[in-house]
Structures are given as C-alpha cells and as structure tokens.
Amino acid sequence: MPDRRKPLVIVTRKLPDVIETRMMELFDARLNIEDRAMTRDELMAAMAEADVLVPTVTDTIDAGVIEAAGPRLKMIASFGTGVDHIDLAAAHARGIVVTNTPGVLTEDTADMTRALILAAARRLVEGERLVRSGEWTGWSPTSMLGHRLYGKRLGIIGMGRIGQAVTRRARGFGLSIHYHNRRRVHPEIAQELEATYWESLDQMLARMDIVSINCPRTPATYHLLSARRLALMKRDAILVNTSRGEVIDEAALTRMLQRGELGAAGLDVFEHEPAVNRKLLKLPNVVLLPHMGSATLEGRIDMGEKVIVNIRTFIDGHRPPDRVISTEF
C-alpha cells in the first residue's frame, strides 16, 4: 500500500496517550477522545472513508459492516488478541488485511488467571466483603474455610501462550497440570511443563479439581463447556475463565452454582457482556471481574505499539508481522 500521503487511520476507542501521540505523528489519525463505543452506523461510516480501521474487541465488524468498506480501506488493525469480533472470511473476500496483537498480553492474563484461582479457592472476595460489612466477629476454627491448592489437579483448556504461562505459575502452587488441546504441544514444551495431555475433554473434566479456560473464541469453542460437560465436573471443582464468555453455557453454569453442583467459579468474561446474569451477581461462590485480565498499562502500550508496527509495515508494502489468516483451537 505504498503512498506518499499519510493514511487515514480511524481508531474506535481511546488508547493510551503515548500510543495516540505516536499515531498522530505517523498517520492522519482520527482518535476517539470521548472513548464512547461507536454505533454500527458510525463503524460503517468509518469503514467507508478510512484507509485503516483500528477497532477493539467490543466492535462487531461483521459482514454487513465490512460490506460498507470504501475502496481506500485495505486494513483492519485490531487492538487486541482475539479476532472473533471480525468476520475474517468477509474481510479476506474484500481483500482487506486483518492483524491483531498476539503475545503481549500473555503474562498479564496468566497473572489474572492465577489470581482468580486463588480467590475462588480461598474465598478471598467473600472475606474482604465480610470485613468491610462490619459483621466480622473475629477468628474462628471453622470460619471462611476454603480449599488448599497444593496437590490439586489443574486442567487447562487451550495450551497456547497463555495456557503455558498459567501452567508455569500453577506449578509454583504445587498443582498437577493436565491439559486438553486440539493437538499435543511440542514434546520439549510438554516435558518442560510436566503436563499430562488428554485427548478427551470429557474425561479430563471429570477428574480435575480446577479447570482454567484459556482457548480462543471460535465456532468450534462456542459453548465448549455445555451443560452436559459442566455436569461432568466434580461437585467441589473450581472453574476459571479469562478467555471469552461464550465458551461456557453461562445459564447452565449459573444453575449449577446456585444448586451447589459446582464448588466455585472465577469469571473475568461473560457470555453477553457487558450484561451479566443477575443471578450470578447474587451468588457468594463466584468471583466476578469486569474483563480486566489484560488491563495493565504496560500491556495496553505494548498492544498499541504492535498496532503501529503492523500498520507501518503494511503501508511500506510488506506483510504485517501479525496478519491473521485463521484461528483454531
């Protein structure tokens, strides 16, 4: 896409100041200072005039929005790792290059997964609320009993970058690591992680004390943890999700938590976010976070820098380093 003029780059949400400043220097950048989510009509209007669109995971770039793309638009440089919000087939059919920002959020998301495992197992949020309520009457041998992590089995669904980072942290807790993936990881990685592979997700779920979801959202992973699969888990098991809410049948999960058919859950994402099932809000055995697994300043800046590198590389007529061809679990 070599051109002497600066490309018009439209950014759909507010990004860290240092990233926006650099974009203004390099491109004809149109920023979203108010940080208000664009409407569908606004997204279509942006597609019609931009050379590059920089959306986020909250922007639905479906076939209809892509159809509105003008002849200038040649690139969608997504600010985020997941691309389930973009119709990749429709973009590729229009000759639009799609990029994302993989790798830079691995450690942050793995840290949050570890935090949710600990919080759910040891009832940290319940304890904090008890202290704040003013109703805490002091230590008791049977008060706020949680579960020890050491020696428990952790099952990881999706042994990619984040799954592997979670594994490295979990070993520090003394957890036994198991995983399910479309295929085994490289033997050298498996040996390093000391992880047991399960080809059958059903069989793994039935044996785990803790299950962590770290796979991407794809058609194949939609409701991967269905009501049937959730019912396979131990009654005192803990389920943690820092991936995408749609991977779990949230209604079924809520019913199980209500009935005591599952021990606890730690959720950073939700099936219909930002809407959260009202019944989940009332449950004491679930830790709820506002999709903040990757929310560190360092991570957001790293994401923005990747977006800039992808755009500049493409403008210079080269293949962007983070071009998305397809996703798989």
Check: CB of residue 158 under 8 Å from CB of residue 214: yes
DSSP string for residues in 64-110: HHHHT--TT--EEE-BSS--TTB-HHHHHHTT-EEE---STTHHHHH
In DSSP terms, 267 is beta-bridged to 241, 288
Number of other CB atoms surrounding residue 273 within 10 Å: 17
Q: Active site residue: 13, 178, 180, 244, which one?
A: 244
Residue 244 catalytic?
Answer: yes
Closest CA to 58 of 11, 9, 112: 11
Residue 291 catalytic?
Answer: yes
Written as six digits, the tokens of 327 are 């996703």
Residue 20 catalytic?
Answer: no
Sign of CA dihedral 114, 115, 119, 124: positive
Q: For residues 229 and 253, give the distance between their C-alpha atoms in angstroms, rounded to a whole number.
A: 10
Q: Active site residue: 42, 261, 273, 305, which one?
A: 273
Q: For residues 298 and 74, give the distance between their C-alpha atoms in angstroms, rounded to a whole number.
A: 29
In DSSP terms, 43 is beta-bridged to none
Q: Active site residue: 291, 305, 312, 323, which one?
A: 291
In the chain, % helix, strand, coil (3-state, to 5) comes to 40, 15, 45
Q: Which helix (H) or strand (E) holds 169?
A: helix 161-172
Residues with catalytic function: 244, 273, 291
